[in-house]
C-alpha cells in the first residue's frame, strides 16, 4: 500500500478507524437526551425563542405588529406560538382579548380574529405555529393588555394556558 | 370602601345630625338647596314640575393614570337632551325621574381635498330616579341655620355601554354599564345674601360581569361647593322676579376598580370641575337656566374625561 | 370626638346669635295665622275700603325679608292683610314675631293655589272687590 513516507500502514488504519468512529458516534452521542421542541424531527429546525411564557409553561409566544398598535380597529399582529413541554399542535382554540386595565374596559363586542398565517413566513418546524391576529380594537391610546388564551386537547381533556402581553398604544 | 372614605361619610352624616331639628309637619323649602347635583329642583309652591334641557359637549378628552391625554376612537362631540319630571311627595320631600337622549358624533377621516363628513348615532341613555327629604328647614328667624337635605338616587344600567359596543367610533355607547346607587347630603345657607351650599354624595356601583370578567368600579365620592345670589331684574319677563346667579366647584374621587375580585392597581379616578349658571323666570310658571361647566377645570385629571358642557334648561310648573 | 366638640361649639354660637337691636323680651303680637277661604277673604275685603294689599309670605322665603322689615315696629295697618303660604303656622307666627310685625295674619295656602302663586313674596291689591297683581302705591 502506498502511504505517506515515514508512516506505517498500521498507523494509517488506526487513524482512519478513529475518524470513522468520531464521525459516526459523536452525532449519536450529541443527540442523546430529550431534545427541545425546536430541535426535534426536522433538519430545517430554526431556533425560536418567545418573549412571553404562558402561566403553566406550555407555550412561548412572540408578538410582532404588522399594523399598529394604534387607536382604532386596524391593528394586525403576527403571533408565533412555540410548543414547550407536552403541548402539541394543532391547538383547539386561540383567543386574544384586549383589555385596558386602568380604565376597566376592553373593546366591547369587537373580537380579534385569529387565523393560520400561511403566507410567506410559514415555518416548516412543526413545533412552531404562526397566526395572524386581526381586528384588534384599541378604543384609546395608553397602556393595554392583550390576554392570549390557548386551548389544546390531550388525553385529560381540554387544557388551557394563557399569558397577558402588555401593549402601549401611542397617542397621535 | 376604604377607611378614609368611611370617615368622610361619617363626618358628613354627623354634621347633618348635629343641625337636625324636628319641627313636626311644616312646609319647608323642600328642595331649594344648592341643587348642584340635580337637574330638577322643586320649590315649596310646586307640586308637579317638568324639565327639559339640551347640553352640548364639544370635546371629550380622555386621560390616563398619569394625567396624560389619551387619543380616543370615540366621539368628538356629544349632545344630551334630558327630560325630567318632579313630584312633591310631602311638604318636605320630592321625587324626580329623568331620561336622556344622547347623540354621539365624530368627524370621519377624509381624503385631502374632500369635505369632512360627520358620523353620528343617537340613543336613549340610562334612566334615573332620585329623591330629596328636608331634615332641617330654612327660617327667616334663624338666618344662620342651614337647610339640611338628604338625597338618594338610583340609576340602572339599561343601555349599551363601552363594554358591549360594536362600533369603531363608540358612537353606540349611551350608558355607563353598571347600576349605581347614590346617597348624599346637601347643606344650604339660603337666608344670606350670598348663599353658600355644600353637597356631598357617595355613589356605589354594582359589580357586573362584562365579557366574562366580573367588574366593579370604585366608590365615587363627589363634593360640590357653590355660592349663589339673586339680582333684581326689574320687570323681567311678565313677572318681576330676581335672577339667580350661581357658581361653584366640584371634586370627584373614585377608588380603585376591581376585576374578578382583585383590585386593579392605578385605576383610581379624579377630576375637579367648576360651573357657572344663570337662572331666571320667563313667565309665572316657567324658568330658564343657562349653565357652563368644565370638568377638569383645575388639578390633575386621572383616568377620567375632561370636557366643557354648555347647557340650556327649561322648567315649567304644572301644579 | 374633636369634630363633635367643634360642631357643638358652632351650634351654640348659631343659637346664641341675636339680630342687632331686637330684644328677647319683645311682646308676642301675633299668636296665630288661622285658615281663611277665598270667600272669607272676599268678605273681608268688602268690609274694608279699597285699596287693600294682600301679601303672601313664608318663613322660608328669604326674599320676603325686606317686606317684613318694612313693617317692623309699625302699628297694624288696616289696609294690609298678610297671608302665609306653603308654610307651617307656627313657623309663620314665629317669623312675624321675630320681625316685630303687628299685622293680621291668615293661612292662605288654598288661596295661593287658586291664584296660581308660584313665587314669594307676592302681592295683590283689591280693586272693585277683586284682587289684581301689584302693590299698594
Residue A125 inside a domain? The answer is yes
Is B165 close to A110, i.e. CB distance below 8 A? yes
pLDDT value of residue B259: 93
Give the residue-averaged pLDDT of A112-133. 75
Residue A108 inside a domain? The answer is yes
Instruction: With cut-offs at 50, 70 and 90, classify the pLDDT of residue A98.
Output: very high
What's the CA angle centered on B64, arms B59 and B70, to 5 degrees? 45
pLDDT value of residue B281: 80
Residue C14 inside a domain? The answer is no
- The domains of chain B are located at 3-107+116-317
Residue A69 inside a domain? The answer is yes
pLDDT value of residue B34: 45
Do residue A5 and residue A58 come from a single domain? no
Residue A39 inside a domain? The answer is no
Out of 2.60.40.10, 3.40.50.2300, 2.40.30.30, 2.40.160.40, which CATH number does the structure's domain B3-107+116-317 have? 2.40.160.40
CA dist B258 and A146 (Å) reads 18
Residue C126 inside a domain? The answer is yes
Lowest average pLDDT, out of A40-44, B186-190, B249-253, C129-133, goes to A40-44
Number of domains present in the structure of chain C: 1
Residue-range definition of the domain harbouring residue A26: 1-33
Say if residues A80 and A129 touch (Cβ distance below 8 Å): yes
CA dist A164 and A143 (Å) reads 13
Residue A128 inside a domain? The answer is yes
Lowest average pLDDT, out of A165-169, B121-125, B309-313, C14-18, goes to C14-18
pLDDT of residue C29 exceeding 90, the answer is: no
Residue stretches of chain B with pLDDT short of 70: 1-39, 109-111, 114, 233-241
Is A108 close to B164, i.e. CB distance below 8 A? yes
Do residue A21 and residue A56 come from a single domain? no
Residue C17 inside a domain? The answer is no
| C105, β-bridge pairs | C82
pLDDT value of residue A117: 83
Least Cα separation, residue A152 to chain B (angstroms): 20
Which three cell numbers, joined as nine digits, stand for B202? 357617595
Chain B's closest residue to C4, CA to CA, is B14
pLDDT of residue C64 exceeding 70, the answer is: yes
What is the 8-class DSSP label of residue C71?
T
Do residue A156 and residue A71 come from a single domain? yes
Do residue A19 and residue A84 come from a single domain? no
pTM (predicted TM-score):
0.76
Query: Which residues are CB-neighbours of A24 under 8 A, at least 6 positions away?
Result: none
pLDDT of residue C26 exceeding 50, the answer is: no
Q: Regarding predicted confidence, which is higher, B213 or A17?
A: B213
Note the pLDDT tens digit of each residue in B263-292.
Answer: 999 999 999 999 999 988 877 788 899 999
pLDDT of residue C3 exceeding 60, the answer is: no
Residue C62 inside a domain? The answer is yes
Least Cα separation, residue A57 to chain B (angstroms): 23
Q: Specify the pairing of strand C80-84 against strand C105-107.
A: parallel
Residues in B closer than 8 angstroms to C85, CB to CB, are 45
> What is the full DSSP assignment across chain B?
--HHHHHHHHHHHHHHHHT----SS----SS-S--TT-S----TT-SEEEEEEEEEE--EEEE-TTS-EE-BSS-SEEEEEEEEEEEEEETTEEEEEEEEEEEEEEEEP--TTS--EEEEEEEE---EEEEEEEEE--BTTBTTPPEEEEEEEEE---S--GGG---TT-TT--S-SS-EEEEEEEEE-TTSSSEEEEEEEEEEEPPEEETTEEEEPPPEEEEEEEEEEEE--SS-SSS--PEEEEEEEEEEEE---EETTEEPTT--EEEEEEEEEEEEESSSSEEEEEEEEEET-SS--BSSEEEEEEEEEEEEE--
Domain CATH code at residue A75 = 2.60.40
Do residue A1 and residue A81 come from a single domain? no
* Closest C-alpha among C74, C65, C69, C67 to residue C123: C67
Do residue A118 and residue A165 come from a single domain? yes
- Give me the percent of chain A exceeding a pLDDT of 70: 65
Residue A6 inside a domain? The answer is yes
Say if residues B244 and B222 touch (Cβ distance below 8 Å): no
Query: Which residues are CB-neighbours of A44 under 8 A, at least 6 positions away?
Result: A124, A125
Query: A104 and chain B: CB distance < 8 Å anywhere?
Result: yes
CA dist C63 and B230 (Å) reads 9
Chain A's closest residue to B66, CA to CA, is A142
CA B126 from centroid of its chain's CA atoms = 13
Number of domains present in the structure of chain A: 2
Q: Helix, strand, or coil here: C97?
A: helix
pLDDT value of residue A45: 45
Give the one of C64, C118, C119 whose C-beta lies nearest to B140's C-beta.
C64
pLDDT of residue A39 exceeding 80, the answer is: no
Residue-range definition of the domain harbouring residue C85: 23-133
* Closest C-alpha among B40, B149, B39, B37 to residue B93: B149
Instruction: With cut-offs at 50, 70 and 90, classify the pLDDT of residue C12.
Output: low
Query: Which residues are CB-neighbours of A150 under 8 A, at least 6 positions away?
Result: A54, A58, A59, A81, A91, A93, A94, A160, A161, A162
Instruction: With cut-offs at 50, 70 and 90, classify the pLDDT of residue C33.
Output: confident
| B107, β-bridge pairs | B118
| B152, β-bridge pairs | B131, B183
Lowest average pLDDT, out of A140-144, B47-51, B164-168, C12-16, goes to C12-16
CA dist B155 and B173 (Å) reads 16
Which residue shows C-alpha cell 299668636? C31
Residue A2 inside a domain? The answer is yes
pLDDT value of residue B9: 46
Is A102 close to B162, i.e. CB distance below 8 A? no
pLDDT value of residue B316: 92
Domain CATH code at residue C110 = 3.40.30.10
Amino acid at each position: 500500500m502506498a502511504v505517506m513516507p515515514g508512516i506505517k500502514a498500521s498507523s494509517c488504519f488506526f487513524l482512519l478507524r478513529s475518524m470513522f468512529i468520531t464521525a459516526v458516534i459523536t452525532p449519536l452521542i450529541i443527540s442523546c437526551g430529550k431534545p427541545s421542541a425546536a430541535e426535534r424531527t426536522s433538519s430545517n429546525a430554526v431556533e425560536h425563542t418567545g418573549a412571553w411564557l404562558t402561566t403553566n409553561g406550555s407555550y412561548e409566544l412572540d408578538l410582532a405588529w404588522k399594523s399598529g398598535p394604534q387607536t382604532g380597529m386596524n391593528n394586525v399582529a403576527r403571533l408565533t406560538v412555540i410548543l414547550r413541554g407536552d403541548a402539541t399542535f394543532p391547538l383547539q382554540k386561540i383567543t386574544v382579548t384586549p383589555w385596558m386595565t386602568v380604565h376597566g374596559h376592553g373593546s366591547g363586542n369587537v373580537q380579534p380574529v385569529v387565523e393560520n398565517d400561511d403566507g410567506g413566513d410559514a415555518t416548516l418546524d412543526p413545533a412552531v405555529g404562526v397566526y395572524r391576529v386581526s381586528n384588534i380594537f384599541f378604543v384609546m391610546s395608553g397602556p393595554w393588555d392583550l390576554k392570549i388564551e390557548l386551548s389544546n386537547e390531550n388525553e385529560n381533556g381540554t387544557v388551557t394556558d394563557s399569558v397577558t402581553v402588555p401593549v402601549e398604544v401611542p397617542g397621535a | 370602601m376604604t377607611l378614609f372614605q368611611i370617615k368622610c361619610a361619617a363626618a358628613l352624616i354627623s354634621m347633618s345630625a348635629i343641625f337636625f331639628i324636628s319641627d313636626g309637619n311644616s312646609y319647608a323649602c323642600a328642595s331649594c338647596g344648592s341643587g348642584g347635583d340635580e337637574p330638577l329642583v322643586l320649590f315649596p309652591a310646586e307640586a308637579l314640575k317638568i324639565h327639559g334641557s339640551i347640553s352640548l359637549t364639544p370635546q371629550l378628552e380622555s386621560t390616563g393614570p398619569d394625567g396624560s391625554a389619551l387619543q380616543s376612537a370615540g366621539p368628538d362631540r356629544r349632545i344630551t337632551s334630558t327630560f325630567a319630571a318632579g313630584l312633591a311627595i310631602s311638604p318636605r320631600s320630592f321625587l324626580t325621574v329623568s331620561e336622556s337622549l344622547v347623540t354621539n358624533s365624530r368627524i370621519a377621516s377624509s381624503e385631502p381635498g374632500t369635505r369632512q363628513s360627520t358620523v353620528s348615532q343617537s340613543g336613549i341613555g340610562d334612566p334615573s330616579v332620585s329623591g330629596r327629604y328636608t331634615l332641617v328647614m330654612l327660617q327667616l328667624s334663624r338666618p344662620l341655620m342651614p337647610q339640611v337635605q338628604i338625597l338618594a338616587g338610583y340609576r340602572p344600567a339599561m343601555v349599551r355601554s363601552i363594554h358591549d359596543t360594536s362600533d369603531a367610533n363608540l358612537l353606540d355607547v349611551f350608558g355607563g354599564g353598571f347600576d349605581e346607587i347614590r346617597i348624599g347630603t346637601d347643606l344650604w345657607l339660603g337666608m344670606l345674601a350670598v348663599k353658600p351650599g355644600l353637597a356631598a354624595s357617595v355613589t356605589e356601583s354594582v359589580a357586573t360581569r362584562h365579557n366574562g370578567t366580573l367588574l366593579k368600579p370604585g366608590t365615587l365620592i363627589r363634593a360640590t361647593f357653590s355660592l349663589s345670589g339673586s339680582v333684581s331684574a326689574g320687570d323681567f319677563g311678565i313677572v318681576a322676579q330676581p335672577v339667580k346667579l350661581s357658581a361653584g366647584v366640584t371634586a370627584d374621587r373614585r377608588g380603585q376598580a376591581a376585576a374578578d375580585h382583585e383590585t386593579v392597581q392605578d385605576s383610581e379616578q379624579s377630576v375637579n370641575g367648576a360651573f357657572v349658571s344663570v337662572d331666571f323666570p320667563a313667565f309665572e310658571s316657567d324658568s330658564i337656566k343657562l349653565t357652563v361647566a368644565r370638568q377638569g377645570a383645575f388639578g390633575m385629571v386621572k383616568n377620567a374625561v375632561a370636557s366643557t358642557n354648555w347647557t340650556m334648561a327649561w322648567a315649567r310648573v304644572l301644579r | 370626638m374633636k369634630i363633635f366638640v367643634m360642631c357643638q361649639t358652632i351650634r351654640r354660637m348659631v343659637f346664641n346669635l341675636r339680630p342687632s337691636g331686637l330684644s328677647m323680651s319683645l311682646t308676642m303680637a301675633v299668636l296665630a295665622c288661622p285658615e281663611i277661604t277665598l270667600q272669607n277673604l272676599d268678605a273681608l275685603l268688602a268690609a274694608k275700603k279699597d285699596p287693600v294689599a294682600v301679601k303672601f309670605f313664608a318663613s322660608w322665603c328669604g326674599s320676603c325679608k325686606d317686606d317684613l322689615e318694612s313693617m317692623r315696629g309699625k302699628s297694624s295697618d288696616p289696609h294690609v292683610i298678610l297671608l302665609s303660604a306653603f308654610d307651617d303656622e307656627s313657623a309663620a307666627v314665629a317669623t312675624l314675631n321675630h320681625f316685630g310685625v303687628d299685622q293680621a295674619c291668615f293661612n292662605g295656602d288654598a288661596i295661593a293655589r287658586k291664584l296660581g302663586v308660584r313665587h314669594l313674596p307676592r302681592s295683590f291689591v283689591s280693586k272693585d272687590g277683586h284682587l289684581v297683581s301689584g302693590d299698594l302705591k
